[in-house]
Amino acid sequence: MKNSRILCSRSYSTKLQLPKCGVNPAVYKGLSLEEMVTIRKKNLNPTMTTYYRKPLAFHSASKQWLFDIDGNRYLDMFGGISTVSVGHCHSKITKALAEQSNILGHVSNVYFTEKIHEYAKRLADTMPGNLKCVYFVNSGSEANDLALLMARAHTGRYDVFSLKNCYHGMTYQVMEMTSLNTYKFSVPGSPGIYKTAVPDVYKGIWGGNKCRDSPVQADRKCSCMGVCEAGISYIEEFKSDLAHMVSKHNLAGFWAETIQGVGGIVQFPKNYIKGVYEVVKQHGGLFVADEVQAGFGRTGDHFWGFEMHGITPDIVTMAKGIGNGFPLAAVVTTPEIAQGLGKATYFNTFGGNPLACAVGMAVLDIIEEEKLQENAKTVGTKLLLDLAKLRDKYEIVGDVRGKGLMIGMELVDDKTSKKPLSSEKCVDIMEKCKSMGLVVGKGGLYGNVLRLSPPMCITQQDATFTVEVLDKALSEVN
């Protein structure tokens, strides 16, 4: 049965008022939630989980706002899992997409088209050093899978390292590189992939309150004097793992997200990535920076997350924010490494599709024209500092961390044990946020880290509302 609902009708469970929106979406007349649930069980992935006890069904969106089929408005502080970078349904993107679709939709990259060449150059121009060769693909998983092939083809070696608690995707090979059991199936893993300790300064073996490149430090005493001792210790741990697990001449590469996303917005000690980079290079391997979530200005200070670590990677993978939700991803590397794929034929049917490239260029334009990287820094820094006050206020908030608009809040039973807050209570907090018009994400091995990675166009008023809602939700659960 079809539904006709009047939008913007929520009766909120609090006196908190959503910031003004100025958008009047069309009335929804589509499938009911019950019909969608039935179809999903029969015709879609029947095991796919959703965040809420009653699934959210969205109808339309604009910039940082989402509208569900029942007429309720939400502030989107998760950005479709760190994907909506410049705002939902941005007019410049819809215009670019419409104009390109009226000219040329698809012929594949075995032919020359203007957009793929124009966009490849523009994307390469954002990169430092000799990172000038761009391979377009369709998702972050595919990008990391291709980067793995590149590293092995170029070096003639096989073994690679990633960090525990990381997420690099769900293809068969990359699933083994991912180090969260939530995303592991009971099948033999792809060989030649090893893990080293995640340098988590909040609850890892080493860490303290001077380690992060962040406005908010871990609530943990630090004995560091000048150089970060925690970073040095984690680098030594990697050296030990490397010596025990891989033959002296078989290291192909090392993968790291510049800030771990799905793993719960884990930031590394300031000198860790640079130190690991040097070790990897000494052993003849390549360093791969996964910018799927941290890239495109989200961290505020830099356009690329690896820049805050003071390195130039050999390969960079990117997705999500690159297309603002359009299926687009890329791998960027040097001409020398790119030559490795000439040992056989590599081809991607949809990589560099004219529509995707038109969207990608519009995203770059918007980030620059609307100064969204600067906004991520300004609004994100204030948001982090305000969230840190909630950490000081509530026993169940163990840590607040992040940079720019890539933020995590770790929920615990108590600050001393740091035991993850129960899944039930974490869901309670998210449900209370939803009832007040706020959408947040979650991450971490135990799903106890609230993740905030909104469209970078959010305002200070939006950030203030977010803190107020979280304050109320935490007080009720606490």
Residues 338 and 420 occupy one common structural domain: no
State which of 348, 369, 390 marks the end of a domain. 369
Q: Where are the alpha helices (DSSP H) in 246-342?
A: 272-282, 335-338
State which of 307, 342, 369 marks the end of a domain. 369
By three-state DSSP, how is residue 95 classified?
Answer: helix
Residues 377 and 333 occupy one common structural domain: no
Residues 142 and 70 occupy one common structural domain: no
State which of 369, 390, 421 marks the end of a domain. 369
- Give Rg (Cα) of the chain: 22
Distance between CA atoms of residues 187 and 183, nearest Å: 12
Q: Give the pLDDT band of residue 326 (cuts 50, 70, 90).
A: very high
Question: In this predicted structure, what is the pLDDT of residue 225?
Answer: 75
Distances (CA, A) of 347 to 122, 137, 144, 156, 344: 22, 10, 15, 20, 10
Residues 356 and 454 occupy one common structural domain: no
Question: Which residue has 């957009």 as its token pair?
Answer: 115
**Element of type H or E holding 134:** strand 133-137
9: in domain? no
E-assigned strands of 152-257?
Answer: 159-163, 193-196, 251-257
Express each pLDDT in 104-163 by its tens digit. Answer: 999 998 899 999 999 999 999 999 999 999 999 999 999 999 999 999 999 999 999 999
Residues 302 and 451 occupy one common structural domain: no
Half-sphere exposure of 403 (CA within 13 A, CB side): 27
Average pLDDT of span 49-61? 92
Is the pTM value of this prediction over 0.85? yes
| Helix %, strand %, coil % of the chain (to 5) | 35, 15, 45
Distance between CA atoms of residues 435 and 74, nearest Å: 9
Residues 295 and 429 occupy one common structural domain: no
| CA of residue 35 relative to chain centroid, distance | 31
Domain that holds residue 473: 33-76+372-477
Number of domains the chain is built from = 2
Express each pLDDT in 290-319 by its tens digit. Answer: 999 999 999 999 999 999 999 999 999 999
Residues 53 and 112 occupy one common structural domain: no
Question: Is pLDDT at 364 greater than 90 in this prediction?
Answer: yes
By three-state DSSP, how is residue 37 classified?
Answer: helix
18: in domain? no
Express each pLDDT in 182-201 by its tens digit. Answer: 999 999 989 999 999 999 99
Point out which residues pair with 97 in neighbouring strands.
none
22: in domain? no
Question: In this predicted structure, what is the pLDDT of residue 211?
Answer: 93
Question: Is pLDDT at 6 greater than 70 in this prediction?
Answer: no
Question: In this predicted structure, what is the pLDDT of residue 15?
Answer: 67
